[in-house]
Copies of this chain bind each other. A is one copy, B any other.
Amino acid sequence: MDWSSLFARRTEKIQPSAIREILKLTQGGEVISFAGGLPAPALFPIERIREASDRVLAQQGERALQYSTTEGYPPLRAWAAEQLPGTDAERVQIVSGSQQALDLVAKALLDPGDRVVLAAPTYMGALRAFDPYQPEYLTVASDEDGLLPDSLEAALKRSPKLVYVIPNFDNPRGTTMSLERRRNLIESADRYGVLIFEDDPYGQLRFEGEPLPSLFELAPDRVVYSSTLSKTVAPGLRIAWLVAAPELLEQLTRIKQAADLHTSTLGQMVAHAVVEGDFLAEQLPRIRSYYHRQRDAMLAALDTHLPSSVHSTRPEGGMFLWLTLPVGSDGLELLQSAARRGVAYVPGAPFFADGSGLNTLRLSYSVASLELIERGVATLGAVLTESLAVAS
């Protein structure tokens, strides 16, 4: 076969994941990894899932193992609707993880050349999900409170189809959009008639400060909203959901039906059996205090070991923080040195749709033990200090 002439043009934009390639560096040896976006497995409610799975199969085995409707298991749709003020089960589409939410929304909306507004940096997986639909990215400057109004306004003037944002504990930076910026985004999107895609995998993982209303709560008709069980229960289940206006939801459901018929019936019924009742009311405090402790350990280690010319965000929730090195540093190049000395992270550049961000990197504090956080950050500090000394 002559493969090169066979692939669709959209595959030209489909590149191997940078994270994937980098993580290969760290396979094998004893590596302290701040790289992956993995939830801490110690938080997985294994016994509850085991019990739920056993109960679902014992009591409703034939239903759990049969084909089911594309929209999703009705009690799970109802539960998801209850998590978000101002909606109902009819507006919920169950999907196979938040990544599928990104793919379905892009497939419904984006023709080649259509414009998508997003922050630089933004979630690399969103760029990879959108890429095959060949959009043009309009990147908006942002600070630790979210998108800067003037830059957003300039982008909206260029008639985008969509604004993509992660308002809570952003991947990769861990930063949160302020209430003022949320209101500004909605007001601007209203003015230009643009849809907002609110990706909210981490919203319930706030361990500090006061919760803010979601964009969906502020403007339900302007927002397509996505959340997931991956960070509150377990990612291996691949259970997430989209909430959208009926016109859009109908398209998303048809697109999902053509793409994979429906999400695992068993997976959905087990997930529902896990979360029904007050489970998250018990589980979320455990998760929050765990990541709070982890973040504190990483901030303390960064304070001790990093050169003062390196800036870190201070997340109030979620799993990530973000370092900005002096201009001229190269996060990818430094990773080679760090990995050789047994520490892994994700360089920042792949999170930027505009090719900038060379001097940044993402650290995840979710998985490493407190001791390894201290040790890994000490090593990272040494690598950065040496590199900056050479550069100056």
Contacts and interface: CB of A to CB of B under 8 A. Distances in A.
A260 B46 contact: no
A66 B264 contact: no
Interface stretch (A4-12, A199-207, A353-361, A383-391): A4-12
A66 B11 contact: no
A254 B107 contact: no
B53 A57 contact: yes
Nearest to A266: B236
Interface in A208-243: 221-222, 230, 234-238
Nearest to A15: B254
B254 A14 contact: yes
Interface in A249-299: 251, 254-255, 257-267
A58 interface: yes
Which 10 pairs between the two chains have the least Cβ-Cβ distance? A236-B265, A65-B234, A46-B61, A41-B62, A50-B57, A65-B236, A3-B247, A100-B260, A128-B258, A238-B264
On chain A, which size bracket covers the interface?
35 or more
A44 B57 CA distance: 11
A374 interface: no
A33 interface: no
A286 to B, nearest CB: 15
A320 to B, nearest CB: 15
A230 B65 CA distance: 9
A221 B68 CA distance: 35
A149 interface: no
Nearest to A2: B193
A58 B68 contact: no
A268 to B, nearest CB: 9
A28 interface: no
Given A14-B258, A65-B49, A111 B2 contact: no
A288 to B, nearest CB: 19
Contact of A7 (B49, B97, B108): B108
A46 B263 CA distance: 19
Contacts of A67: 36, 38, 230, 235-236
Interface stretch (A85-93, A129-137, A306-314): A129-137
A304 interface: no
Contacts of A336: none
A257 B128 contact: yes
Number of copies: 2
A254 B21 CA distance: 12
B262 A238 contact: yes
22 contacts: A1-B221, A1-B245, A2-B193, A3-B247, A7-B251, A8-B107, A8-B110, A8-B114, A14-B255, A15-B254, A44-B65, A49-B57, A50-B53, A67-B236, A96-B260, A96-B264, A99-B261, A128-B258, A235-B265, A238-B261, A260-B260, A266-B267
Contact of A54 (B17, B53, B109, B193): B53
Given A14-B255, A67-B235, A236-B264, 17 more contacts: A8-B108, A8-B110, A15-B254, A16-B254, A38-B66, A39-B66, A44-B62, A46-B62, A46-B65, A53-B54, A65-B235, A66-B236, A96-B260, A128-B258, A129-B259, A238-B267, A264-B264
A103 interface: yes
Contacts of A17: 254, 257
A67 B103 CA distance: 18
A192 B27 CA distance: 43
Contacts of A39: 66
